[in-house]
Structure 1
Amino acid sequence: MLITVSAQGEADFRRLQEAVDSVARDVQEPVTIRIRPGIYEEKVTVPASAPPILLLGEDRDRTVLTWSDNAHTLGPDGAPLGTFRTGTLNIFASRFTVENMTVRNDSGPGTGQAVAAFVDADQAVFRRVRLMGDQDTLYTGNGKQYYGECYIEGDVDYIFGPATAVFDRCQLHSKRSRGYITAASTPEGTAFGYVFLDCEITGGEGVSDVYLGRPWRPFAHVAFIRTKIDGSITPEGWHNWGQPERETTSRYEEYGSTGIGGGTHKRVDWSRQLTAEEAAQFRILPILDGWHPEGY
């Protein structure tokens, strides 16, 4: 089933939420929602009742979904939204895919937590998507998730949450100094948290002293495998969030880091450098427990 969306009106719908609503309750078959280039200023929610949906943008840079809620924005009830209600794109449906578009939270720096993509869904796939924001850009909720060839930017904890998530050939771009890329909250006993495969880390002009991550919860797991790292990353690499006891429970790992920031001899002693044999176990299918993200 194919549905088209165009902000200019030459399609089935002008607004993306209207297109999602048209299939969320009554359609069982997979649906492709093709989005023509334009600026879509709206907050979009894909409910758990929706069938498998592919949001297919025609041009990654010119197909833009944007909104500007932050944690201090007042909701309909008059109370601040808090972090988890700030998302521009909010995904609760399993087997959801988005390709070739930009999702942005335009709240701006210094406004607090402001999520661009809130993904609380199993078997969620993002391919060639730009996720843009400042603090808390991408929330990865429960389930298995895959991000392929994506660009993700932010400043503080801009990838956070409990999901088992593979980031495959992505660019992570830090916008300010003394920030943090990841804030994983991997549940205890979970084999994999965040795994970055063949990614690149960059920083804006003059950005420095950025940490690879800090543990939002005690059993955070993050692994960077064959990552090209520029000079924005601090030599010690990881931060304990002011809670030394988490140094014994968090699992922070690297293998084959390269670039100016890829030197590991000054990394904190509670992180690990994997052996070649250990790194070979970090493959997409085993990480995702047999689920193949190319199937959607």
Structure 2
Amino acid sequence: MGCIAAIQLFITAILLVSTTTISSADTSPIPADASSLNTWFQNNVKPLADRKGTIDPALEAAEAKPRTIKVRKDGSGDFKTLKDAINSIPTGNKERVIVDIGPGEYVEKLKIEREKPFVTFLGSPSNMPTLSFGGTAREYGTVYSATLEAEADYFVAANIIIKGTEMHVIPDEGGTFITAQARNSESEDTGFSFVHCKIDGTGSGTHLGRAWMSRPRVVFAYTTMGSVVNPEGWSNNFHPERDQTVLFGEYKCEGPGADPKGRARSGRQLTPDQVAPFISLGFIEGSKWLLPPPN
């Protein structure tokens, strides 16, 4: 979970004894054993039928009327490109639109505008599609360099590989950073949490994150880090004063790139209590909106 954008995020539900209402709890931690993830998912993620009346009414209405559009590179679907599929979704969309993506690599720079909520990208778990694009911060700016920008509410991606999110690092003479989180004050409820990931690639100069702003929050838990990760791990972005204000954390990571020796002052090894908020669904308020991906 976390890094392969076959990302399936999960929700925990509790049946209250005194009533028939399903309410949700965000405190169930992601298990340390990756082989337990599917069981954890099945035990904790409740379908829409069990959660009516507990989630956003607009989301509930959208899920009641799902429709599917198929993208196939060979022309056998509704569209050959993801960009055309996204363009077909109306502004002000009020239905769950499942974009069924066939196998293959889709080299496209994609953006789901804020006015197009309720979109699902769905691939096959046995033959996952790959989304890729060679955009760089130098060309597009840091904010707009992503292969996929999802600005809309209630976006879901399942069984898809997004290169870069898979964290296979390619050397860059100008420096490589997996994250550049832009939190600038304690009142901003933002951050990145990567759980059960694998970071590999070539070279040895990649940093887990840089302090783009003064108070970024980035956590890697249960992650295998290859030697591509720089021993420093983290960068204060040439602002040494940010060493005192960032939250750059690691928890029970392994591999040659996870050695805590040589880590920058800005990085820290977290305790179980410190990591707990970052490895449960409470971090993304999952109980308010998160549902299982479609079959």
Q: Structure 1 pair 255/90, CA: closer, same or farther in 2 (3 Å)?
A: closer
Q: Is the 8 A contact 2:128 2:159 kept in 1?
A: no
Match of 1:25 among 84, 88, 91: 91
Taking only the aligned residue pairs, the percentage that are identical comes to: 30
Quote the Cα distance in structure 2 between the aligned partners of 1:72 and 1:219.
Answer: 23
Match of 2:184 among 182, 187, 190: 187
**How far 1:264 moved relative to its partner?**
1.3
Match of 1:56 among 101, 116, 122: 122
For the pair 1:226 / 2:222, whether they are aligned, the reply is yes
Q: Is the 8 A contact 1:24 1:47 kept in 2?
A: no
Match of 2:195 among 191, 194, 197: 197
Aligned residues: 223
Quote the Cα distance in structure 2 between the aligned partners of 1:42 and 1:237.
Answer: 30
Alignment RMSD, CA only? 3.0
Quote the Cα distance in structure 2 between the aligned partners of 1:31 and 1:255.
Answer: 36
Q: Which has the higher contact order (CA 8 A, sep 6+)?
A: 2
When normalised by structure 1's length, the TM-score is 0.63
Q: Is the 8 A contact 1:24 1:51 kept in 2?
A: no
Runs of at least 5 residues in structure 2 that lack an aligned partner in the other structure:
1-66
Quote the Cα distance in structure 2 between the aligned partners of 1:61 and 1:94.
Answer: 27
For the pair 1:279 / 2:290, whether they are aligned, the reply is no
- Residue 211 of structure 2: aligned partner: 215
Q: Spell out, residue by residue over 1:71-110, the C-alpha distance to the aligned partner (whole angstroms, 9 max, x if none).
A: 676xxxxxxx545455543322211122333xxxxxxxxx
**How far 1:283 moved relative to its partner?**
2.7
SS of the residue aligned with 2:163?
A: strand
Amino acid at match of 1:18: D
- Residue 153 of structure 2: aligned partner: 94
Quote the Cα distance in structure 1 between the aligned partners of 2:223 and 2:106.
Answer: 33
- Residue 236 of structure 1: aligned partner: 232
- Residue 264 of structure 1: aligned partner: 260
Q: Structure 1 pair 93/276, CA: closer, same or farther in 2 (3 Å)?
A: closer
Quote the Cα distance in structure 2 between the aligned partners of 1:182 and 1:26.
Answer: 31
Quote the Cα distance in structure 2 between the aligned partners of 1:282 and 1:72.
Answer: 31
SS of the residue aligned with 1:223?
A: strand
Greater share of residues in helix: 2
Q: Structure 1 pair 175/41, CA: closer, same or farther in 2 (3 Å)?
A: closer
**How far 1:266 moved relative to its partner?**
2.6
Runs of at least 5 residues in structure 1 that lack an aligned partner in the other structure:
74-80, 102-128, 133-150, 153-171
Amino acid at match of 1:188: S
Amino acid at match of 2:196: D
Quote the Cα distance in structure 1 between the aligned partners of 2:217 and 2:259.
Answer: 20
Q: Spell out, residue by residue over 1:155-204, the C-alpha distance to the aligned partner (whole angstroms, 9 max, x if none).
A: xxxxxxxxxxxxxxxxx332227532221112311465122223222232
- Structure 1 or 2, whichever has the larger Rg, is 2
